[in-house]
Homo-oligomer: A and B are copies of this chain.
Amino acid sequence: MAVYTEVGEDELDAFVAGYDIGAVRACKGIAEGVENSNFLLHTDAGYFILTLYEKRVDPADLPFFIGLMEHLSARGISCPTPVKTRAGTALGTLAGRPAAIVTFLDGMSVRRPSPRHLSELGRGLAEMHVAGDGFAPTRRNALSVAGWRPLFAQSAARADEVAPGLGPEIAAELDFLEANWPANLPQGVIHADLFPDNVFFLRDDLSGIIDFYFACNDALAYDVAVCLNAWCFEPDLSFNITKARAMLAAYERVRPFTDAEFAALPLLARGAAMRFLLTRLHDWLRVPEGALVRPKDPNEYLRKLRFHRTVETSGAYGLDR
């Protein structure tokens, strides 16, 4: 849950007056997003989400994120649509922070996704990849292979506090990933953080994708690899091939994988597991003394990484060729 900034009624009224959405009727902080402050905003024109971008988001990246949501929603992807001011801008300033108003998206994230949800996810992800084509701005993936070793360096000395031998295991894995990371896969705009929290469903149908604040340019199949990690393991960390198969088959009905992607998927899945292992390790070792929120356990992604190391071909993910 996240509301880091209080907004005064006068400054809110003045901010909303710049838009063509009538007057403010209500504004309530909501528990959505981890990096930013989000509010449900009710105006004469309906319900919206007001986001204040907090310090973990680089303001220089905001035009990319906002522009991407505009681009995708104009192409029929159900994602928050930035509302523009009368002056035609979608990014303003409120309470001293960059701020935007986006449309309210119905639906809820699922805690226990079914194969049906996975099929919807695969279709939605592929449609988003196709729709991203033609979006001109670019943003580098700072959390891809080149970023992992510097990130690991910040935690290496204390990695063994999390699991004995974790430091050497990560170092060896990084050697392998850096030496073998595929360079020539189809590129595009990826979400890069498509966890269940960020996908809404209405009953069994995907109704929306949110939280584009890690979006960047990278191999499209890497986004699929993130989803294999985030959606296809059971709570006991066993891999559910039925769910993976449902997702990958639905993806391919919209955008078939190239041979190179088919071959690279196990490696990309190892890399995606490494990315979340490293960020979790980083956060785990830096818990503020007595914090109320316990960070997520890095061991979950260590175990997922080890699973992907046992995978020889994408057939193990249910992808037939």
A residues contacting B by CB (< 8 A) are: 1, 3, 6, 8-9, 12, 23-32, 40, 42, 47, 104-108, 110-112, 200-203, 288-293
Contact = CB atoms under 8 A, between A and B. Distances in A.
A47 B40 CA distance: 11
Contacts of A105: 26
Contact of A25 (B3, B107, B289): B107
Nearest to A24: B108
A216 B33 CA distance: 38
A216 to B, nearest CB: 27
A288 B282 CA distance: 26
A105 B28 CA distance: 11
Contacts of A24: 108
A30 to B, nearest CB: 5
A27 B108 contact: yes
Q: Interface of chain A, helix or strand or loop or mixed?
A: loop
Contacts of A27: 108
A1 B25 contact: no
A32 B28 contact: yes
B26 A108 contact: yes
18 contacts: A1-B1, A1-B29, A6-B111, A9-B111, A12-B108, A24-B108, A25-B202, A26-B104, A26-B107, A26-B200, A28-B30, A28-B32, A28-B40, A29-B31, A42-B106, A289-B290, A290-B290, A291-B292
Nearest to A289: B290
A106 B25 contact: yes
Q: Which 9 pairs, one residue from A and one from B, show the smallest C-beta to C-beta distance?
A: A290-B290, A29-B31, A25-B106, A28-B30, A26-B106, A3-B31, A292-B292, A289-B290, A30-B30
Contact of A29 (B26, B30, B107, B201): B30
A108 B28 CA distance: 8
Contacts of A31: 1, 3, 28-31
B110 A9 contact: yes
A23 B200 CA distance: 15
Nearest to A10: B112
Contacts of A107: 25-26
User: For A25, A27, A106, A201, which residue has the most chain B Cβ atoms within 10 angstroms?
Assistant: A25
B111 A8 contact: yes
A88 to B, nearest CB: 28
Nearest to A105: B26
Contacts of A293: 292
Contacts of A32: 28-29
Contacts of A106: 25-26, 42
